[in-house]
């Protein structure tokens, strides 16, 4: 019984210190892009941003990529309550740049914001964020505040729709 209780305490403590929750402001992410240039998450302030932790070797990540591309194409020019436009900031946990590049091309990840330190699970940002499994993501608003944690599939689209700028009287009534 003592061991079971210890296991649950460790499980609760480890899960409570991981990641960020809705309402938190994500800290800066500053990492090199595919061309070796430093790219900052803060450079995307003013937009809704899907911060996506993924890797070329992660099958669930690759399976989800077509849906992320679809959301990008559908919402990239939308106006949101707290952000103008939608984009993706992909943080790769790859170790090999060639595999990372090939996955971006093969999966048609057409947005410009791809970063990695090519340290795999040793990725400094992933460690700081408490990332312990992939895929993992955060949807942030134009001020960098988390509006959804790990919104995948239908949940991502629901969050994007919910955060669109109100243009009708009826939409504002049901918000």
What is the overall mean pLDDT for the chain? 87
Output b/e per residue, 30-55; b: 16+ Cβ within 10 A: ebeeeeeeebebeebeebbbbbbbbb
CATH of the domain at 141: 3.40.30.10
**DSSP 3-state helix, strand, coil percentages of the chain (rounded to 5)?**
40, 25, 40
Tell me if 150 is assigned to some domain.
Answer: yes
Total number of domains in the chain: 1
Domain residues for the domain of 123 are 19-173
The whole-angstrom separation of Cα 123 and Cα 91 is: 9
Tell me if 2 is assigned to some domain.
Answer: no
Specify the pLDDT at position 14.
38
pLDDT in tens, 13-68: 334 345 799 999 999 999 999 999 999 999 999 999 999 999 999 999 999 999 99
pTM above 0.95, yes or no: no
pLDDT in tens, 73-89: 999 999 999 889 999 99
């Amino acid at each position: 019984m003592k061991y079971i209780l210890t296991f649950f305490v460790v499980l609760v403590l480890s899960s409570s210190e991981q990641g960020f929750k809705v309402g938190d402001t994500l800290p800066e992410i500053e990492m090199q892009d595919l061309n070796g240039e430093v790219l900052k998450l803060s450079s995307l302030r003013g937009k809704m941003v899907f911060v996506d932790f993924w890797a070329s070797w992660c099958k669930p990540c690759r399976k989800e990529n077509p849906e992320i591309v679809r959301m990008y194409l559908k919402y990239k020019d939308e106006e949101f309550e707290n952000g103008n436009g939608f984009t993706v900031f992909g943080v790769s946990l790859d170790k090999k740049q060639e595999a990372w590049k090939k996955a971006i091309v093969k999966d048609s990840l057409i947005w410009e914001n791809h970063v990695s330190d090519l340290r795999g699970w040793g990725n400094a940002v992933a460690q700081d964020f408490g990332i312990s499994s992939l895929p993992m993501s955060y949807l942030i608003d134009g001020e960098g505040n988390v509006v959804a944690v790990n919104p995948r599939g239908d949940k991502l689209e629901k969050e994007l729709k919910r955060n669109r700028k109100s243009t009708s009287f009826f939409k504002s009534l049901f918000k």
